[in-house]
Amino acid sequence: MAVSHAAVQAAREATTTVPIVMFAVADPVALGWVASLARPGGNLTGVVIEPDTLLVDKRLHLLKELVPRASRLGLLTTGEPQVQEQVRAAQRATAGMGLTVVLAEARDRDYARAFQRLTAERAHALFVPASALLNRDRKRIIELCARHRLPAMYQWRESVEEGGLIACGSSITELARRTAAYVDRILRGASPAELPVEQPTTYELALNQATARALGLAIPPSLLIQADHVVGR
C-alpha cells in the first residue's frame, strides 16, 4: 500500500510485479501509472482521493464567500508535483476573482518562515492545497493560522475538527475503508490489473464556528446551509 504521490512513484520504481494499492492525490492516467481507470492493466490500482485540480476552483470560491473582503490570497506550497498543479490552477482561477496571489513555500517543512512571508505580504486568507505532506503537518499549520489570525481553507474535515476554519473534500474515512477493501481483495487473489481505480463521488463541506468567531468572521447562512459538518457551535 502506498500513500501519497511520492510513495506511489517510489513503489512503481521498485517493482512491476508486486501488487500496489494506492491512496493518493493524483491523475493516474495522465501520469502513466495505469492504462485507464476502468482497467488499470498493470500491478497498480486503488483509490484516488481526488484529481489534483478538481476542487481548487470550488475551494477558492467558498473561501472568498467566507472572507469577502480578502483581496490578497496566500498559497502554501511545497515541492510536490501535485501541489504545483494546484497552485497553477489556483493562479488561473484567482485571475478572475480580483485576488492577488502570495506564494509561500514551506521548504523543508519550515512553516514558520512561510507564515512570515504571508504576514509580510499582507495575505488576508490562505489556501492549503491537497497534499499528504501538508495534511501530515496540519496541526502545525492550524496553530500558525490561529497565531497569525489567518483564515484558511483545508482539504479534510479532520482539519476543521482540529481547529481549522473551513474544509472541502472527500471523506478520508470512507476512502480509507475502500483502500483496505482493495488490499483484502488482492490478498484473496484478485488481480490489480482488473480492479478499477476508484474516485470519490461525494464531497463534504466542514466549518468551524468557534474558529470563525475567534477570527471575527460571520459565517454566511448560505455556507451553513451547504455544510455537511459544523463544529464549535
At 91 the pLDDT is 92
At 215 the pLDDT is 97
What is the distance between the alpha carbons of residues 66 and 101, in angstroms, rounded to a whole number? 17
- Domains, the chain: 2-49+171-194 (3.40.50.2300), 56-169+204-231 (3.40.50.2300)
What is the distance between the alpha carbons of residues 131 and 152, in angstroms, rounded to a whole number? 15
Residue 137 φ/ψ, nearest 5 degrees: -100, 20
What is the distance between the alpha carbons of residues 4 and 6, in angstroms, rounded to a whole number? 6
Go through 191-222 and write b for each residue having 16 or more CB atoms within 10 A of its CB, e for each that does not: ebeebebbbbeeebbbbbbebbeebebebeee
Q: Per-residue pLDDT for 52 more than 70?
A: no
- Grid coordinates in use for 67? 472572507
Q: Per-residue pLDDT for 100 more than 80?
A: yes
Residue 159 DSSP SS3: helix
Residue 54: band (very low, low, confident or very high) from pLDDT cuts 50, 70, 90 = confident
At 31 the pLDDT is 87
Residue 92 DSSP SS3: helix
- Grid coordinates in use for 52? 489534483
Closest CA to 158 of 200, 111, 206, 213: 206
Say which range, 17-21, 72-76, 78-82, has the weakest mean pLDDT. 78-82
- The residue type found at 188 is R
Closest CA to 106 of 73, 131, 71, 70: 131
* Beta carbons of 102 and 117 less than 8 angstroms apart: yes
What is the distance between the alpha carbons of residues 167 and 158, in angstroms, rounded to a whole number? 9
When computed from its CA atoms, the radius of gyration of the chain, rounded to whole angstroms, is 18
**pTM, whole model, 2 decimals?**
0.87
At 25 the pLDDT is 67
Q: What is the mean pLDDT of the chain?
A: 93
